[in-house]
């Protein structure tokens, strides 16, 4: 015959096992819903991802920061500095937008060049129209307001300055982004 103390111990053990099973099922369902939501949110990004260009890496980082920012801005966030962290993440997202749109760097400078020297015209002459030593043809870059050799030299100097300004803008964004990550990323948990 089982004594009362043993029966009570078995009953408690059975209740614990039932609770473990219930908790496991609830966790599985919750995590499954979360996983399905993740697949839905990430699918368009992963579908377009390619392994040969850093731009895709930037897009993936942007998506991750957007999801984290949204969580930190939500009522689900529990850490005290969550809203402040979300602001930092948003700053990083804005920088990433500029980094992804790489052609915007130096745009003002190149617009000024177009105004000063005219629009850049690209022309191509096939081999038969030039000399026989050139195998495929030749590309010519011209601007309508460049008339003399002096103009051409000044325009070339302006072009170099634009390239330098473009690279400085780009480098500043990369430095700002990665320095912020280096400083903040380990604080971004909730």
What integer pLDDT is reported at residue 124 of this predicted model? 81
- Total domain count for the chain? 1
Closest among 52, 45, 70, 58 to 95, alpha carbons compared: 58
Residue 147 lies in a domain: yes
Judge whether residue 46 has pLDDT over 90.
yes
Residue 57 lies in a domain: yes
Residue 34 lies in a domain: no
Residue 24 lies in a domain: no
Contacts 24+ apart (CB under 8 A), 52-58: 55/100, 55/102, 58/96, 58/99, 58/100
Judge whether residue 145 has pLDDT over 80.
yes
Judge whether residue 23 has pLDDT over 90.
no
Burial (CB count within 10 angstroms: exposed 0-12, middle 13-18, buried 19+), residue 88:
buried
Judge whether residue 121 has pLDDT over 90.
no
Do 63 and 89 form a contact (C-beta atoms < 8 A)? no
Tell me the residue range of the domain where 146 lies: 48-187
Residue 27 lies in a domain: no
What integer pLDDT is reported at residue 7 of this predicted model? 78
pLDDT digits (tens, 9 = 90+) for 52-99: 999 999 999 999 999 999 999 999 899 999 999 999 999 999 999 999
Contacts 24+ apart (CB under 8 A), 176-179: 176/95, 177/92, 177/95, 177/96, 177/99
pLDDT digits (tens, 9 = 90+) for 157-174: 999 999 999 999 999 999
Judge whether residue 129 has pLDDT over 60.
no
Residue 37 lies in a domain: no
Residue 119 lies in a domain: yes
Residue 116 lies in a domain: yes
């Amino acid at each position: 015959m089982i004594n009362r103390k043993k029966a009570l111990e078995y009953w408690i053990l059975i209740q614990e096992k039932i609770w473990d099973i219930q908790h496991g099922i609830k966790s599985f369902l919750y995590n499954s819903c979360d996983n399905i939501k993740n697949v839905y949110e990430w699918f368009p990004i992963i579908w377009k991802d390619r392994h040969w260009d850093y731009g895709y890496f930037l897009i993936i980082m942007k998506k991750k920061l957007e999801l984290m920012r949204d969580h930190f801005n939500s009522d689900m966030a529990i850490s005290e500095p969550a809203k402040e962290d979300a602001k930092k993440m948003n700053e990083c997202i804005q920088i990433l937008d500029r980094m992804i749109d790489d052609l915007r760097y130096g745009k003002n400078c190149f617009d000024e060049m177009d105004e000063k020297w005219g629009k850049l015209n690209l022309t191509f002459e096939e081999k038969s129209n030039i000399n026989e030593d050139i195998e495929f043809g030749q590309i010519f870059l011209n601007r309508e307001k460049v008339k003399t050799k002096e103009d051409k030299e000044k325009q070339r100097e302006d072009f170099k300055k634009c390239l330098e300004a473009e690279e400085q803008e780009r480098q500043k964004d990369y430095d700002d982004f990665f320095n912020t990550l280096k400083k903040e990323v380990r604080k971004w948990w909730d």
